[in-house]
Amino acid sequence: MENLSHILFQAGENREDYFMSVAPPIMQSSNFCFNTVDQMRDGLAREYDAPFYTRGYNPTVAILREKLALLEECDDSLVCSSGSAAVAIALTGFLKAGDHVICVQKPYSWTYKMLNELLSRFGVETSFIDGTNISNFNEALRENTRVVFLESPNSMTFEMQDLRAVAEFCAKHNLISIIDNSYSSPLFQKPALMGIDIIVHSSTKFINGHSDVVCGVICGSKIHIRQLFSHEWMTLGSIISPHDAWLMIRGLRTLELRVGRSASTAEFIYKGIKNHPAVAAIYYPFAENNPQIELARRQMSRCAGMFSIVLKGKSFKPAEVFSNALKNFLMAASWGGYESLAFPVCAFSKMPWFSDSVLPPNMVRMYFGLEDPELLLADVNQALDEALKYVD
Ligand SMILES: *Cc1c(COP(=O)(O)O)cnc(C)c1O
């Protein structure tokens, strides 16, 4: 990889182009103009990599695209208005009516809906498989399979897929592999180096990192990204604003510091609570009793700052008491910002599908932000002590 400091602080930033300003300008213009017909002709031919119209190319967004591609060790990237848009564009870009997709079980909920409810209406079928065993990919393979969609690990229960083995399987059968790499951030897992074709992120999470922008990223080879650019991406028009791109560039300045701190805090808290009597299990890729720990250590350089705690007890009461007792965690969905968050599965208990959910009702997902790790540990411990009183 290019030196990480170079990517975060220099790549894509041609300061001669904008008065040598240290921070890049927010090029808040929808449109770009030309002096002659001939120049306009050239502009039209280069919409992919030069200013013509901001739905296609914007100079502030271009700085961000270059940094993200380098971070994922890919040729190029596209940024989208959300992580879900990135997933939708990547999937539709490689599928047509009559095709079949193999997707891992328990992907992000809107990825599941995209495949199961939206693409199914357009004649695309999906098999959702347990991706922890490579033989399940072979079993699900059909003549019309085109795409394999991975999320390793997923962001609730953290099951993983062997990325090298899946990439080999896809190469053998001429399939496109797509991974949602949001959990690991571009720093802790490099799918492109293991042979995965397309990498998507919800950059709302770690990449932006400040809980103030919703955004998605697609990374891949020049051929794939160009193809997505001129069809699905330009047609759907799901772009981010120059201002949001600028916020993301600013967020990236501290990516290494933020993601590293969050990871260290999660490790510290895991060690501090794993033997607490109210804890039934902790779903964390680097947990010592994770049956997939060897794989985790092989394909992830570190484990990011989020895990799920399953509380003991027959009901979800202890999980509810635990969540209400936390003082230094905000109770919310999402993750990847500066602030620590708790997401109790029992918050879904009024949903009609709750009793059939694949998630344990007494599970709470914990995201560790940038606060003092000792403060967070003391808080989790006191909330677990409180929950213990309700374990039945
Ligand atoms: C949040 C999330 C998404 C969706 O991203 P948005 O930016 O909210 O659209 C997709 N995948 C994972 C793993 C996520 O956590």
**CA nearest ligand 1 atom 12, residue:** 108
Ligand 1 centroid to Cα of residue 84, in Å, is 6
Biggest distance spanned by C-alpha atoms of the chain: 78
Any ligand 1 atom below 6 A from CB of 203: no
pLDDT for 356-381, tens place per residue?
A: 888 999 999 999 999 999 999 999 99
Please tell me the distance between residue 83's alpha carbon and the centre of ligand 1 in angstroms. Answer: 5
Q: Ligand 1 center to residue 215 CA distance, Å?
A: 9
**Cα 211 to averaged position of ligand 1 atoms, centre (Å):** 13
The confidence score (pLDDT) of residue 235 equals 96
Taking the C-alpha atoms of residue 102 and residue 163, their distance in angstroms, rounded to an integer, is 14
**pLDDT value at position 2?**
83
Can you tell me which atom of ligand 1 is nearest the CA of 85? Answer: 9
Choose one of 180, 202, 214 to mutate for the ligand 1 pocket test, by most ligand atoms within 8 angstroms of C-beta.
202
Task: Identify each DSSP E strand in 44-108 by its residue range.
Answer: 76-80, 100-104
Going by the DSSP 8-state scheme, the letter that residue 148 receives in this structure is E
Each of the 392 residues of the chain gets a pLDDT tens digit; together they read 789 999 999 999 999 999 999 999 999 999 999 999 999 999 999 999 999 999 999 999 999 999 999 999 999 999 999 999 999 999 999 999 999 999 999 999 999 999 999 999 999 999 999 999 999 999 999 999 999 999 999 999 999 999 999 999 999 999 999 999 999 999 999 999 999 999 999 999 999 999 999 999 999 999 999 999 999 999 999 999 999 999 999 999 999 999 999 999 999 999 999 999 999 999 999 999 999 999 999 999 999 999 999 999 999 999 999 999 999 999 999 999 999 999 999 999 999 999 888 899 999 999 999 999 999 999 999 999 999 999 98
Write down the pLDDT at residue 301. 98
Q: Give me 162's structure tokens.
A: 């062997």
Output the pLDDT for position 77: 98
Q: Indicate whether residue 216 lines ligand 1 (CB < 6 A).
A: yes
Q: Is 155 in the pocket of ligand 1 (CB under 6 A)?
A: yes
Closest-lying ligand 1 atom to the alpha carbon of residue 151: 13
Token pair of 142 as six digits: 């059909």
Contact at 8 Å (CB) between 319 and 346?
yes
Q: Which of 165, 147, 249, 246 is nearest to 207 (CA)?
A: 249
CA of 275 relative to ligand 1 center, distance in Å: 31
Residue 392 confidence (pLDDT) = 85
For a ligand 1 pocket test, name from 179, 180, 205, 365 the mutation site with the most ligand atoms within 8 angstroms of its C-beta.
Answer: 205
pTM: 0.97
pLDDT at 19: 97
Given the DSSP bridges, would you call strands 125-129 and 145-151 parallel, antiparallel or unpaired? unpaired
